[in-house]
Homo-oligomer: A and B are copies of this chain.
Amino acid sequence: MPTLPLSPGSTIGILGGGQLGRMLSQAASRLGFDVVILDPEENSPAGRVSRGQIVAEYDDPTALTVLGRVCDVVTFEFENVPAASIERLAEAGALVAPGPTALAVAQDRVDEKTFLNAVGATTVDFVAVDTLDDLTAAIQHLGTPSLLKTRREGYDGKGQVWIRDAAEAEAAFEAIAGRPAILEARAAFTRELSIIAARSQSGEIAVYPLGENTHTKGVLKTTLAPAVTDAATDARAREIAEAILDGLDYVGVLGVELFDIPGQDGQAGGLLVNEIAPRVHNTGHWTQDGCGCDQFEQHIRAITGWPLGATAAHARVEMTNLLGDEIDQWTNLSAEPDVRLHLYGKTEARPGRKMAHVNRVRSLA
């Protein structure tokens, strides 16, 4: 295992060569690190701005051994990394961050919600579903509407189906191909917030201000940050983030999606955790133009054993994703003085594909 903190000139490996890997690589190079990407797609967005790329599958044993040997620390831009891949990287001598526990928890929605509730980060009620009978019983327990999701994989609204009536159980179970699943009660939330937080190798924690998110067809469209909130909500969100980070003995940046539940009928409202992502997160892109140390540099600082950077906002930022052919808006956007462009270098603008984001920067006041 390498000695921490890692010196500039050390090499960081990243599994995944998409836009998150690209922005992590750019942040790492600002701090003087070299970066090697592992991604099966040649000339990936991240590979193009890095020292090198190994073109191979994420479970290719030889590729993982090579990556583990040339890198001092290895991290990833997505959570569905096979546990065996992590083991092989560690065997080859690389530090891996975040660690296998955080990944395992985040890969299974039942394990994730069980963990969250155990550390006091409350979620909606849920029931594990393995069979159609389980599902029928779960619907009776949680009522409708309720949301059926596969336990593993699925993102941006994929692998999930709303059940509005008990009679839809069979169709819903078929829609997810009968895979191991979770049924979640519906949260009566008014808005989705998210909080980005980091924990260092020494257990230091840094938390960014809350962002407020909007979605289109299940895909994040905008984040406004710092969100307009009250002090109690800010404090509760920070408490939730800290409980999760400490509970997972986490190292790196983590994103937490929250439901903001209004108080009603004399009952207090509060925050429920929707899900966590053990990585830099789309709802944290605003930090690039709103904070002294953005989430990408923060992740690199955390995994290399550096002290964490400043998270206070110096501007109010509206982040907007450009999906598919919305990328064609670059000509107009490039002429707007308050817009900061972040393009991912993807050649093919498939419908719904995340091609870029822009941060509109305004004064905090």
Q: Residues 294-335 of chain A: 1 if any B CB is under 8 Å from the residue's CB, otherwise 0?
A: 000000010000110110001100000000000100110011
A8–B330 Cα distance when bound, in Å, is 8
B356/A337 in contact, CB under 8 A: no
- A280-300: which have CB < 8 Å to B? 292-293
Q: Residues 45-59 of chain A: 1 if any B CB is under 8 Å from the residue's CB, otherwise 0?
A: 000111100000000
A31–B8 Cα distance when bound, in Å, is 26
B32/A334 in contact, CB under 8 A: no
Contacting residue for A51 out of B8, B43, B341, CB 8 A: B43
User: Is A347's beta carbon under 8 Å from chain B?
Assistant: yes
A292/B50 in contact, CB under 8 A: no
Q: How many residues of chain A are within 8 Å of chain B by beta carbon?
A: 43
A49/B31 in contact, CB under 8 A: no
CB distance from A320 to the nearest CB of B (A): 16
Residue of B nearest to A43 (CB): B51
B361/A338 in contact, CB under 8 A: no
Which chain B residues border A33 with CB–CB below 8 Å? 345
A299–B342 Cα distance when bound, in Å, is 16
Which chain B residues border A327 with CB–CB below 8 Å? 8
Contacting residue for A310 out of B292, B307, B310, B338, CB 8 A: B338
CB distance from A184 to the nearest CB of B (A): 38
User: Is A261's beta carbon under 8 Å from chain B?
Assistant: no
Which chain B residues border A356 with CB–CB below 8 Å? 8, 32
CB distance from A74 to the nearest CB of B (A): 18
- A19-36: which have CB < 8 Å to B? 22, 25-26, 29-34
A32–B309 Cα distance when bound, in Å, is 27
Main secondary structure of the interface of A (DSSP, over half): loop
Among A50, A335, A341, A347, which residue has the most Cβ atoms of chain B within 10 A? A341
User: Is A221's beta carbon under 8 Å from chain B?
Assistant: no
B345/A29 in contact, CB under 8 A: yes
Q: Residues 336-349 of chain A: 1 if any B CB is under 8 Å from the residue's CB, otherwise 0?
A: 01101111110100
A100–B282 Cα distance when bound, in Å, is 43
CB distance from A8 to the nearest CB of B (A): 5
Residue of B nearest to A315 (CB): B314
User: Is A82's beta carbon under 8 Å from chain B?
Assistant: no
CB distance from A220 to the nearest CB of B (A): 20
User: Is A203's beta carbon under 8 Å from chain B?
Assistant: no
Indicate whether A30 sits within 8 Å of B337 (C-beta atoms), given known contacts A43-B51, A51-B43.
no
User: Is A5's beta carbon under 8 Å from chain B?
Assistant: yes
Contacting residue for A26 out of B49, B310, B340, B341, CB 8 A: B49
Which chain B residues border A331 with CB–CB below 8 Å? 5
Indicate whether A337 sits within 8 Å of B26 (C-beta atoms), given known contacts A32-B344, A48-B34, A347-B9.
no
Indicate whether A30 sits within 8 Å of B306 (C-beta atoms), given known contacts A8-B330, A51-B48, A334-B301.
no
By Cβ-Cβ distance, the 6 closest A-B pairs, closest first, are A32-B343, A310-B337, A307-B335, A48-B51, A29-B49, A8-B343
